[in-house]
Amino acid sequence: MNSLINETHDPDLKSLIEAANDPESDFPIQNLPLGVFKPRGTESPPHVGVAIGDLILDLALCGNGGLLDGLSSQLISACAADSLKALMSLGPESWSSLRRRVSGLLRAGDERSHRGRIHASLVPMSEAEMMMPAVIGDYTDFYASIYHAQNVGSLFRPDNPLLPNYKHVPIGYHGRASSIVISGTPVRRPCGQIEGADSVPEFSPTRMLDYELEVGFFIGPGNSLGVPIAISDAEAHLFGLCLVNDWSARDIQKWEYQPLGPFLGKSFATTISPWIVSVEALAPYRVPAFARSPGDPTPLPYLKDEQGPVRGGIDLRVEALLISQQMRSQRCRPMLLSRGNLRDLYWTPSQLLTHHASNGCNLRPGDLLASGTISGASEDARGCLLELTRRGARPLELPGGETRRFLENGDEVIFRAFAEREGFVRIGLGECRGMVIG
Catalytic residues: 148
How many other CB atoms are found less than 10 A from the CB of residue 14? Answer: 15
How many other CB atoms are found less than 10 A from the CB of residue 330? Answer: 10
The residues near 427 (Cβ < 8 Å, ≥ 6 apart) are: 26, 27, 28, 30, 31, 277, 281, 282, 418, 419, 420
Helices (H) and strands (E) in the chain, counts: 11, 26
**Euclidean distance between CA atoms 88 and 409, whole angstroms:** 37
β-strands 403-404, 313-314: how paired? unpaired
**Euclidean distance between CA atoms 236 and 239, whole angstroms:** 8
**Are 55 and 102 spatial neighbours (Cβ–Cβ below 8 Å)?**
no
Name the DSSP class of 164.
Answer: T
Any bridge partners for residue 51, and if so which? 56
The number of CA neighbours under 13 Å toward the Cβ of 268 is: 22
How many other CB atoms are found less than 10 A from the CB of residue 203? Answer: 9
**Are 107 and 16 spatial neighbours (Cβ–Cβ below 8 Å)?**
yes
In terms of phi and psi (left: phi > 0; alpha: psi -120 to 50; beta: otherwise), the region of 395 is beta
Helix (H, G, I), strand (E, B) or coil at 190: coil
